[in-house]
């Protein structure tokens, strides 16, 4: 805790994270190259539409899906409020079960801990379960620098690693490859690939299976992440679909698990909620194919040496943001990616972070600090589709707007021109007189422009005054993607006042005021042939009935009722006729 010069106590400055979180170029620059690749866009469009259609069908089968989402959000909020004590509880339980718990403040510290642990085993090779947090800290590169080879065992991760490429999706890192491209990668980079390898999915999977089986049986150290960590028991949980994770978690002698501190859940009862939410949101499966839970080490059963590295790397700084902390509730299902129109057109590589898509646009800038990652919060249309599908109800659009504002505030030490303009507008529009005077001044000042430009020509009195496609600097930013409307020649209030002030114009009669007797000095004119006659004068003998007019109540109802209408309603006034 530091102390300000005036004696005011200041909160400690929490460190931000590092690693594969910030793009080397801004998102717009990387996205431009991705959008220009038609094959990439076709691959991603086909894959995301297939996944999201299956997810929608799987979710529709659960009657209490919304209640499950609310339960997931509630648990994650509770974890955020009590994270320090949950972490201590987890450490005590895991240590008691035989595991060794390490703490890492950032990527460099985590990489150093893992490298030292692998070196202590005397091994120069490790197998890895699919783990986003180890990708976040760039563990493979750190191990390579120490002379240790890390082999990915998830099929998609293996494809990306063999091609020395970048991941494009949380759930399917190789989503941007098609079958023909994968076959060429296997032929080129996998030494034990069969010579007659085709692009049939079953053939490709069998080639990868045989390649990985030899790795599983010969490697003595495995590295994993974890989807969840149970505080009450010190247990770690991994969900996967191929069985490679179970092989890594049981066969090697040493297991090192790198776990983000936000993965905590208080108890197994809370875990039950997420085991329903995650499979349907990610792979559209009713139940996850392989769910592995391990607690410490047990002699003769699985790895004899278990290490857990609890990683911060900017998560504490994220937790300190009352709006942005909800990003830590993410369970990495990737549902938000599959519905995002921006992701569908750019793919995940354009984000330049291990966390792509809408969730990556709010997680990465918070882990690194917004100053190091300013462009990602703008990689969204703010359509809200990501919030609609999020299984734990993370309000991604709200956090995006919050981060955009934080980026603007952090880049200057005085109010921006935009904020000054908005405050001025607020002051003007809060008073009717000021507002009308401002409109009048704007109308007069832009009148010559409207008269000179064809687009500004008024079509009718009181109608829209047109718009301008381009404004001079500094207002040119407004017309980059929209037209600037010119002030109307006449405001609605002015039009209304002028309308009521016309000669002979009067307000509509109050229906609650009875009409007075007719002026006896005004001679009655001849009856309007189109106006139905009133009741017959009792002193005037009735003539013979018109043979063409049917007698009876129907005839009376149509022509002999109260003056002006057969339905009893007053005749339309001039005001109604105008409308």
pLDDT the model gives residue 3: 44
User: What phi, psi does 4 have (nearest 5°)?
Assistant: -75, 160
**Phi-psi group of 376: left, alpha or beta (phi > 0 → left; psi -120 to 50 → alpha; rest → beta):** alpha
pLDDT the model gives residue 406: 87
Tens digits of residue pLDDT in 291-327: 999 999 998 889 999 999 999 999 999 999 999 999 9
399: nearest Cα among 314, 317, 318: 318
Tens digits of residue pLDDT in 489-502: 788 888 888 887 77
Q: How many Å apart are CA 191 and CA 173, to the nearest integer? A: 22
Q: How many Å apart are CA 109 and CA 206, to the nearest integer? A: 38
126: nearest Cα among 74, 77, 161, 168: 161
Return the SS3 of 291: strand
Reading the block at residue 249, the tokens are 């978690």
pLDDT at 566 over 50: no
- Beta strands 235-240 and 290-294, pairing class: antiparallel
- Own/partner long-range contacts of 499-502 (Cβ < 8 Å, ≥24 apart): none
What is the helix (H) or strand (E) element at residue 256, kind and residue range?
strand 254-260
Return the SS3 of 299: coil
pLDDT at 54 over 60: yes
449: nearest Cα among 425, 468, 469: 468
What is the helix (H) or strand (E) element at residue 294, kind and residue range?
strand 290-294
8 A C-beta contact, residue 250 and residue 285: no
pLDDT the model gives residue 232: 97
Sheet order of strands, 264-265 included: 264-265, 228-230, 235-240, 290-294
Question: Locate tokens 């430009």: which residue?
Answer: 453
8 A C-beta contact, residue 107 and residue 17: yes
Among 131-145, 273-287, 466-480, which stretch is predicted with the lowest mean pLDDT? 466-480
pLDDT the model gives residue 525: 43
pLDDT the model gives residue 14: 84
pLDDT the model gives residue 530: 42
Tens digits of residue pLDDT in 161-196: 999 988 889 988 888 888 999 999 999 999 888 888
Alpha helices in 390-490 (DSSP H): 396-410, 417-429, 432-452
Mean of per-residue pLDDT scores for the chain: 83
pLDDT the model gives residue 73: 97
8 A C-beta contact, residue 483 and residue 469: yes
Q: How many Å apart are CA 302 and CA 175, to the nearest integer? A: 33
pLDDT at 218 over 60: yes
Looking at residues 214-236, what average pLDDT do you find?
Answer: 96
Tens digits of residue pLDDT in 89-148: 999 999 999 999 999 999 999 999 999 999 999 999 999 998 999 999 999 999 999 999
Q: How many Å apart are CA 232 and CA 267, to the nearest integer? A: 5
| 465 pLDDT tier (thresholds 50, 70, 90) | low
| 282 pLDDT tier (thresholds 50, 70, 90) | very high
Fill in the DSSP letter of residue 489: S
Tens digits of residue pLDDT in 361-384: 999 999 999 988 989 999 999 999
Reading the block at residue 532, the tokens are 């139905």
pLDDT the model gives residue 531: 43
- Beta strands 100-104 and 305-311, pairing class: parallel
CATH superfamily of the 27-320 domain: NagB/RpiA/CoA transferase-like (3.40.50.10420)
Q: What is the DSSP string of 214-249?
A: HHHHH--EEEE--SEEETTTTEEEEEESSSHHHHHH
pLDDT at 413 over 80: no
Q: How many Å apart are CA 84 and CA 77, to the nearest integer? A: 13
pLDDT the model gives residue 415: 67
pLDDT at 263 over 50: yes
| Residues 6 or more apart whose Cβ sits within 8 Å of residue 280 | 55, 58, 59, 62, 286, 391
319: nearest Cα among 52, 86, 39, 567: 86
pLDDT at 1 over 60: no
Percent of the chain past pLDDT 70, that is, above it, reads 81
8 A C-beta contact, residue 495 and residue 462: yes
Cβ burial of 299 (10 Å; 0-12, 13-18, 19+) is exposed
| Residues 6 or more apart whose Cβ sits within 8 Å of residue 308 | 94, 99, 100, 101, 102, 236, 257, 259
Residues of the chain with CATH 3.40.50.10420: 27-320
């Amino acid at each position: 805790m530091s102390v300000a010069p005036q004696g005011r106590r200041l909160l400690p400055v929490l460190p931000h994270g590092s690693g594969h979180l910030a793009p080397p170029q801004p998102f717009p620059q990387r996205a431009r190259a991705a959008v220009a690749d038609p094959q990439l866009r076709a691959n991603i469009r086909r894959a995301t539409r297939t996944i999201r259609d299956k997810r929608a069908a799987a979710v529709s089968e659960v009657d209490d899906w919304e209640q499950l989402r609310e339960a997931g959000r509630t648990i994650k909020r509770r974890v955020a409020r009590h994270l320090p004590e949950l972490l201590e509880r987890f450490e005590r339980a895991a240590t008691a079960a035989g595991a060794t718990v390490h703490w890492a403040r950032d990527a460099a510290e985590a990489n150093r801990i893992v490298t030292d642990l692998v070196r202590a085993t005397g091994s120069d090779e490790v197998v890895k379960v699919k783990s986003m947090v180890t990708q976040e800290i760039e563990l493979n590169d750190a191990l390579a620098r120490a002379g240790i080879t890390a082999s990915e065992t998830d099929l998609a991760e293996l494809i990306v690693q063999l091609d020395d490429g970048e991941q494009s999706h949380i759930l399917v890192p190789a989503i941007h490859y098609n079958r023909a491209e994968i076959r060429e990668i296997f032929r080129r980079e996998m030494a034990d690939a069969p010579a007659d390898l085709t692009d049939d999915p079953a053939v490709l999977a069998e080639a990868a299976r045989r390649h990985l089986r030899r790795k599983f049986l010969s490697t003595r150290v495995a590295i994993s992440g974890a989807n969840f960590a149970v505080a009450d028991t010190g247990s770690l949980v991994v969900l996967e679909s191929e069985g490679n994770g179970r092989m890594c978690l049981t066969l090697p002698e040493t297991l090192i698990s790198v776990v983000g501190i936000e993965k905590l859940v208080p108890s197994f009862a809370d875990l039950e909620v997420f085991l329903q939410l995650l499979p349907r949101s990610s792979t559209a499966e009713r139940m996850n194919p392989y769910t592995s839970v391990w607690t410490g080490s047990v002699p003769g059963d699985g790895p004899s040496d278990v290490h857990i590295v609890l990683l911060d790397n900017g998560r504490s700084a994220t937790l300190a943001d009352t709006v942005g902390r909800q990003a830590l509730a993410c369970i990495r299902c990737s549902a938000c990616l599959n519905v995002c129109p921006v992701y569908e057109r750019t793919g995940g590589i354009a984000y330049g972070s291990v966390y792509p898509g809408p969730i990556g646009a709010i997680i990465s800038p918070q882990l690194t600090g917004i100053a190091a990652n300013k462009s990602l919060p703008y990689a969204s249309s703010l359509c809200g589709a990501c919030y609609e599908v999020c299984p734990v109800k993370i309000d991604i659009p709200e956090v995006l707007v919050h981060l955009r504002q934080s980026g603007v505030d952090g880049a200057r030490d005085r109010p921006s021109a935009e904020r000054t303009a908005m405050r001025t507008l607020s002051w003007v529009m809060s008073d009717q007189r000021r507002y009308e005077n401002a409109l009048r001044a704007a109308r007069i000042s832009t009148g010559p422009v409207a008269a000179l430009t064809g687009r500004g020509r008024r079509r009718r009195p009181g109608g829209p005054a047109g718009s301008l496609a381009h404004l001079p600097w500094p207002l040119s930013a407004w017309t980059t993607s929209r037209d600037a409307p010119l002030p109307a020649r006449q405001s609605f209030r002015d039009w209304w006042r002028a309308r009521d002030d016309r000669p002979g114009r009067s307000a509509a009669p109050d229906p609650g005021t009875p009409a007075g007797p007719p002026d006896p000095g005004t001679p009655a004119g001849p009856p309007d042939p189109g106006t139905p006659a009133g009741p017959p004068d009792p002193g005037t003998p009735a003539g013979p009935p018109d043979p063409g007019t049917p007698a009876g109540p129907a005839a009376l109802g149509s022509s002999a009722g109260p003056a002006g209408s057969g339905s009893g309603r007053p005749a339309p006034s001039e005001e109604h006729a105008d409308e």
